[in-house]
Amino acid sequence: MDEPDHASESRTPAPALRSALIPGKEFLCSRKGQLLLAEWVVSFLTFICYAASTAVGLMTVPLIEFLWALFTFYAYSLKYNEQLKGILWPLLDFIRCVSAAIIYFVVSLVAVSKYTCGASKAAAVFGFIATIIFAIDFYMIFNELTKFLKKEDSTEDPERQKSEDEDSFSDSD
C-alpha cells in the first residue's frame, strides 16, 4: 500500500547530475557564456550545412571547432578553469579564438569560390558569422589580458622600476 512511486523519482534528474550537465544561469547571462554559446551553435549549424552540401570535405573544421567550443563552454560553466591551475586558460582561449576565426574565414572563402550548391553557400554564410563571433571573442580576451598585464606592471616594486629607468637614461649618453 505505501509503495514508493518510482515513476515520479525517475522523471526528475538528481541535483548533482543537473548541476553537472546544465550550466548556471549566471554563466549563461554573462558575456563569455553568451559568446561561447553562440560559437557552439554557429559551429554546429555550419557543420550541418557542410555535411549536407557538396563541400563535404570542409566539414571537419566546424566539427572540431564545435567540439572545442563545447568543451570550453562546459569548462568555464563548471569552473574547471579555476580548478585546473596548470593550464593558462586565457591564453588557450585566445589561441582557440584566433585560430578559429582565421580558419573559418579561409574555409568560408573556399566554399564561396569553389562550390555552387545552396548548402555550401549557407555553410559559408554561417562560417563568416562564426568568424565574426570568434573575432569578437578574441578581441574581448585580448582586452582582458592587456588590462591584467597593465595591472601587474603597476604593482611591481616602484624602487626597482625607478632604478631601471635611471639605468636606461645613463646608457643613452
Higher pLDDT, 172 or 150: 150
Domain boundaries, the chain: 23-168
In this structure, what C-alpha cell is assigned to residue 94? 585566445
The length of the chain, given as a count of residues: 173
Which strand (E) or helix (H) includes residue 26? helix 25-29
pLDDT of residue 109: 94
DSSP readout, 75-131?
A: HHHTTHHHH-TTS-HHHHHHHHHHHHHHHHHHHHHHHHHH--SHHHHHHHHHHHHHH
pLDDT of residue 79: 82
> Domain spanning 23-168 has what CATH number?
1.20.120
Residue 6: which residues within 8 A CB-CB, separation 6 or more?
none
CB 46 within 8 A of CB 123: yes
Which tens digit of pLDDT belongs to each residue from 112-169?
999 889 999 999 999 999 999 999 999 999 998 888 778 777 665 555 555 555 555 5
